[in-house]
Amino acid sequence: MSKDLNETMMYQPARDQKLDTKALLIEVYEALKEKGYDPINQIIGYILSGDPTYITSHKNARNLIRKLERDELLGEILKDYLSS
């Protein structure tokens, strides 16, 4: 099967590959809470500074939150807040 190298390919991730922002944020929140941190303050610190050390590595929370761009995370939070 030959492909035309002049055509632009479209990438569309499968539905299960898309990140569920809310579920991811809840996991991070719970990990922070379990470690005794104030989850809201820690997540705000991360969003404002970009410093991942605001997020605990407990339950892989630091790696999870870094899967999201901070501006996208903030956008999702704002959309959810305004839609309720």
Q: What average pLDDT does the chain have?
A: 87
| 32 close to 26: Cβ distance less than 8 angstroms | no
Give the model confidence (pLDDT) of 3-36 as tens digits.
Answer: 677 887 776 655 444 568 889 999 999 999 999 9
Least-confidence region, from 4-13, 20-29, 40-49, 50-59 = 4-13
Q: Find the angle CA(54)-CA(57)-CA(61) to the nearest 5 degrees.
A: 85
Give me the mean pLDDT over the 41-65 stretch: 97
Tokens of 31: 């990990």
Give me the mean pLDDT over the 58-72 stretch: 94
pTM of the model as a whole: 0.75
Give me the mean pLDDT over the 63-74 stretch: 93
> How far are the Cα atoms of 11, 46, 56, 60 from residue 8, in angstroms, in the given order?
10, 37, 41, 36
47 in helix, strand or coil?
helix
